[in-house]
Structure 1
Amino acid sequence: MTDRSNVFVYPKDVSAFGFDWGRLALTVAPEVNGAERFSGGVVDLPSGKGHTRHNHPGAEEIIFVISGNGEQMVEDENGNPVVAKVGPGCTIYVPESRFHSTLNTGDQPMQLFVVYSPAGSELALRDLPDFRLLPAGQ
C-alpha cells in the first residue's frame, strides 16, 4: 500500500528553497517521495521578481504558469535569447542545458509548476549565493 503522506503533497507541507526572487517548494523529488525519473514543485514569484538567467546542465525542464503574468526567456539552439509574454495555462519547454529566466511583470504574484528531468538537477540551485532552506509552512 502506498503511503498517502508522500503521494499527496502540498507545497506548505515541505521545506522550500528560498531566494531573494521567490521560492521553490519541491513536492516531487527523491527526498520527498522517492521519485526517480523527474522532480518538480511550485515556484512563487512576487510582483517584479524573477529568477535570473541560468541552466540545468544535462536536464530538461517544463514550466507551467498557474497564475500571474510575466516574461519568459529561453535560449534557442544558437544561444540567442527568445522572449515571450506568458500567463495562466502557458507551458514552457526548456530543452536540455538551455539557459532561461522568468520575470513576473504583473502586479500580482506569479505561480509556476516546474518539472525537472532527470530528478535532482534542481539541487544545483542550492549553490546560488542567495539560497536559504525554508522550513515547511514558511
Structure 2
Amino acid sequence: MSDPGKLFVYPGDVDGFGFDWGRLSLTVGPEVNGAKHFSGGVVDLPPGQGHSRHNHPGAEEIIFVISGNGEQMIEDEHGNPHVRQVGPGCTCFIPESRFHSTLNTSSAPMQLFVVYSPAGPELGLRELPDFRIIPAGN
C-alpha cells in the first residue's frame, strides 16, 4: 500500500453511514484502505437506540463493546433467540447468516467496533430507507 495514511484511520476521518438508530463509520474495508478479507468500523448508538433484527447472508460478524451497556440478541442454529446484557470489553460472535440485534439500554451512548468477514455486508446498509451519508468530521 502506497498511502500509509490509510493504515491509521479514526472514525471522524471517513464519511459515516447515518441511520435513525445511530451511525456506522467504516474505518477498514476494500473501499477505505484496500482490506481484502474483512471490513469493519465504529458504531455509535444513542441511549435507547439500536438496530433491529437482521442478518448478513454468507458473512460472520464480530461485535466488540467499547463503551456503554446494552442488550445483544443472537439466534442459535435453530432460530432461538439468546439475549445477554453486554458492556465494555464484551466480544459477541455472530455466526454466518445468523439473525441478531443490538439495543443500547443505558442512559449514555454505546460504542461498538464491528467486523464483517468477508467484507461486503455493510454496503447493503445503503439500501435502508433511513440511510444517509454524514460527511467526515461531523
TM-score (norm 1): 0.97
User: Partners of 2:103 and 2:42 in 1: how far apart?
Assistant: 15
| Aligned-partner residue type, residue 119 of structure 1 | A
Partner of 1:75: 75
| Aligned-partner residue type, residue 44 of structure 2 | D
Q: CA deviation at 1:122?
A: 1.2
Structure 2 portions without partners, runs of 5+: none
Runs of 4+ in 1 over 6 A off after TM superposition: none
Does 1:30 pair with 2:36?
Answer: no
Residue correspondences, number: 138
Question: Which has the larger displacement, 1-10 or 43-52?
Answer: 1-10
User: Partners of 2:135 and 2:69 in 1: how far apart?
Assistant: 27
Partner of 2:134: 134
Structure 1 portions without partners, runs of 5+: none
Alignment of 1:35-74 (within 5 A): 35-74=35-74
Percent of residue pairs bearing the same amino acid type: 77
**RMSD over aligned Cα, in angstroms?**
0.9
Does 1:123 pair with 2:115?
Answer: no
Partner of 1:99: 99
User: Partners of 2:2 and 2:48 in 1: how far apart?
Assistant: 41
Residue by residue over 1:61-87, the C-alpha shift from the partner in whole angstroms, topping out at 9 and shown as x without a partner, is: 000000000000000100011100000
Q: CA deviation at 1:4?
A: 2.1
Q: CA deviation at 1:5?
A: 1.3
Residue by residue over 1:72-124, the C-alpha shift from the partner in whole angstroms, topping out at 9 and shown as x without a partner, is: 00001000111000000000000000010000001110000000000112111
| Aligned-partner residue type, residue 33 of structure 1 | N
Partner of 1:11: 11
TM-score (norm 2): 0.97
Secondary structure (helix, strand or coil) at the match of 2:130 reads coil
